[in-house]
Structure formats: C-alpha cells, structure tokens
Amino acid sequence: MKIELLQYLVVTAKCNSITDAADQLFLHQTTLSSAIKNIEKTTGVEIFSRSKNGIVLTDAGKELVSLAQEIVDRWEQCLSLSLKKPEYQESLLLTPTIIADQYSLAFLSTYRQLAPQGKLSIATILQNDFIPQMLTGKYKMGIGLTEPAGINHVKNLFIKNGFLFTSLGIHFSYLYVSSKSRFAKREEVFLYELYGEQLAISENGYHSFHTPEHVRVLGTPVILANIHLVRKAVEQENMIAFYIPCTDQKTDWFCSGTSIKKIKLIDQPPSCIQQSFLIHKPNNYLSEIENAFLANISKVFNNC
C-alpha cells in the first residue's frame, strides 16, 4: 500500500465528509472515495460508517487511523534523516515552473554557498498540481503560488498537515512586447487596447493566461512548448506575451538581455495576480543546511 493512501486516510479522518477531505487534499471526491475503498478492501476493515450527515469512524477505523498516523509520522522521520556528512547533503525543492524560470539559478547558487559539495534538486510542476503533490509528503520544502483571495485557506490547509508557512509576496502579471510593437514606448496599457494582437503562451502558462477576459480581446492564442519559445515569439515574431514575474523591477529574466519591453497591465484579470509562499516541514525534520537555505529564501526573492 502506498504511503499516500495512508496520508489521505489520516486527513479524511479529521473531516466530517469525503467532500470536505477532498477539498483539503485538492483531490476529486471520486479519487478520494476510491482511495478509501482501496484501503478498506486491502485491510478488510470498514473504516467509516456513512450517512446523509457525513462520515464517522468505526471502532476498527479509529484503530486503523491511529496506526496509519504512526506509520506516516515514522515515514516522515525516515525522510528527514540527513547524510552522515552534511557537506554532501542532497535536498529537494518543489516549485511551479513560473518560479523556477526566474529563481533556479539563484536557489542553486545560495545552496552551494552553504554546502559546496551538496546538491539541490529543483522539481518543477504545474501550478495547479503543486498543493496535492506537497501533501503527499514526498517533499519537505516547496514554494507555491495562489490567488491572494485563497491564501488563508492554503495556509490553514498546510498548517493542519504539519507544514510551516511563510508568505513571500504578491506578484502582478505584465505585458511583454517587442521593440517593434505599437506599445513599445508605453509604460502601461489596458487589456482592451490589445485587440488584434497575437498572444503567445506556453503550455504551463495556458491555465494562467487563457482567461475569459483574454479570450474576449485576443481570441485563440499560439501555444508553445515552453516559456523560452514564447520569449522568442515576442522578440522575433512581434507577438505579445503575459508573464507573472516575482519582481516589479523594470526588467526581469524574461526580458533581460533582449529588446523585449515590459509594460504594466492596468486591468489585469484577478487570476493573473498571484501570491507566493514558502512551506516546509518543521525544522527538526530538516538538515542544518536545509534550515539555513530556507532562511535565505526571502532574501533571494528580494534580490532577483
């Protein structure tokens, strides 16, 4: 049985219904129901009694959940074991691609200063998949993005599941155009003014920028494999692009070293405003190097 199933069980046992538990785990209700039935079939134990008022643990279910909690705790302790020689520490950080694009090199540089022989692996993921992946327990550290209106829900969710939470900042999307664009000399622009322009977005950016507001003005976008091809499309094909940099400086990695212009989008859709946050397991689950690395995350965000 996969450890993720036991983690799902522990969370579900704290909720009044499968629906509430699925919401907390960011899973479809049918997915969670199937997982619980899988555990019941494997163990031969009826875990919950179900009624129109929700779910209640059976006596056998209470015993099973107690054992599952112990296994999950032990597994997390196993994951927290450091190598005997801390200078050879290997760590794993999960983050959406939009953050990795801008910060990977800065993260790697910071980590290597702390552990010259150590290794930091950065796993990238679609923004919508970040929360359920972190909740599997595979990752001890992560940097995520969510809409500001939902930040308290996300914070409470992670705290309930044993993570520490730190807000990093709010980030706005910007318009990027080539030096040949009719907007190249502008400092800011309204969305409606972009009528007739050709929008390029990456596969990862599709969920962020293929909004009803964008579609009404720009129609169907050109979808490219990655953000680097999007940047080429802006500079070489005079397309436009949107991006949510984690900095409001005049230039960022998307336009640095190119002729691309960065312009403020005045009436951006709410979904294009994001709040970044850092989550990690309690300090005693982390190595000394990982704790030192996390202490530098805010500084990295402010300097990039």
pTM (whole model) above 0.85: no
Low-confidence ranges of the chain (pLDDT < 50): 82-85
Q: Looking at residue 84, what is its pLDDT?
A: 43
State whether residue 81 is helix, strand or coil.
coil
Quote the pLDDT of residue 72: 84
Residues 6+ apart with CB under 8 A from 137: 3, 4, 7, 72, 75, 76, 79
Instruction: Tell me the percentage of the chain whose pLDDT exceeds 90.
Output: 46
Query: Of 55, 20, 25, 23, whose CA–CA distance to 40 is shortest?
Result: 55
pLDDT in tens, 46-73: 999 887 778 889 999 899 999 999 988 8
pLDDT of residue 201: 93
pLDDT at 83: 41
pLDDT at site 82: 47
Q: What is the CB neighbour count within 10 angstroms for residue 144?
A: 24
